[in-house]
Structure 1
Amino acid sequence: MAAEYVPPVQKGFGQLVDSIFLLVLVYCSLLAPLLLKAPDKPVQADAVKTQVSWRELGQNAAMEAQWRKLGYGSEQAKPIVTSKFNYEIEPVSLTVTALAILSYFVFVLRVSERQYRQVIAEKFQE
């Protein structure tokens, strides 16, 4: 009669290392866009000097109130409101991200295969 299978238990230190590693990865992934941000384009002096109304910016009274709560006047908000989002894909960032995801996927597959083979060997050993 075969003994009941008892899977290996990860030690507390291993769980701590795994948790810290995952926290560092999450922190770095959230911080990376801030560190790799392209420098802002300088605002032209004549654009700031021109008086602009909230209506010209397409903002209604509720939007204006929210801008004021954030501490922005119409002149300060103009560059933010009128700038369009940049949806350009940066090939280097895309490649690095794809390689990181692919590397993690390969790592998980290899570790899983090793653990799977170990479980099979333990379960069906005679």
Structure 2
Amino acid sequence: MASDYVPPVQKGFGQLVDSLFLLVLVYCSLLAPLLLKAPDKQPDPAQAIKTQVSWQTLGQNPTMQAQWQKLGFDAEQAKPIITTRFDYTIDPVSLIVTALVIVGYFVFVLRVSEKQYRQVIAEKFPE
């Protein structure tokens, strides 16, 4: 009678290393676009002097103004936040690098799984 198969057990240290590795990969994939982003252009100081900043020029009504002031902002401090629009452009290099990392990890997992699967079959059904 064949003995029952007992799969190899991953030790706690191996699980810790795997978890930390995945955590570092996630952190790097989230941080990479910020590190690779081109620096923003600084506004022309002469242009900034010409325009007077007020809550009305920023399009803020009295209720909005009160909320900004509760947060500790005056019109000058709130201007960059209000006037900065979200940038939905996709950087092709970052997209390709992220895709390569994901595909590379997927291929790595498949290769390791195939190797382990073959080991299990070889142990379960010896020739």
Once the two structures are TM-superposed, the CA of residue 9 in structure 1 deviates from its matched residue by 0.3
Q: CA deviation at 1:90?
A: 1.5
Offset, 1:120: 2.0
Partner of 1:27: 27
Which residue of structure 2 lines up, in the alignment, with residue 97 of structure 1?
A: 98
In the alignment, the residues of structure 2 paired with residue 76 and residue 66 of structure 1 have an alpha-carbon distance, to the nearest angstrom, of 13
Amino acid at match of 2:20: I
Q: 1:125 to 1:58 in 2, by over 3 A?
A: farther
Show CA shifts across 1:14-59 (max 9, x none). Answer: 1222122123223323332332232122123333553333344233
Following the alignment from structure 2 to structure 1, what is the Cα–Cα distance between the partners of residues 98 and 88? 16
Q: Which residue of 1 aligns with 2:37?
A: 37
Structure 1: which amino acid aligns with 2:15?
Q
Q: Distance in 2 between matches of 1:118 and 1:60?
A: 69
Give the alignment's TM-score, normalised by structure 2: 0.78
Paired residue type of 2:126: Q
Distance 1:35 1:106, change over 3 A: same
**Which amino acid counterpart does residue 14 of structure 1 have in structure 2?**
G
CA–CA distance in structure 1, aligned partners of residues 74 and 51 of structure 2? 13
User: Deviations 1:68-98 (Å, cap 9, x if unpaired)?
Assistant: 3443222222232223222222121111111
Q: What corresponds to 1:116 in structure 2? A: 117
User: Partner amino acid for 2:23?
Assistant: L
Cα distance, 1:103 vs structure 2: 0.6
Do structure 1's residue 16 and structure 2's residue 16 form an aligned pair?
yes
Unaligned runs of 5+ in 2: none
* Count of equivalent residues: 126
Q: Secondary structure at the match of 2:95?
A: helix
The answer on whether the counterparts of 1:54 and 1:64 sit within 8 Å (CA) in structure 2 is yes
Partner of 1:51: 52
For 1:69 and 1:120, the matched residues in 2 are separated by 67
Aligned-residue sequence identity (percent) comes to: 76
**RMSD (Å) for aligned C-alpha atoms:** 2.4
1:77 aligns with 2:78: yes
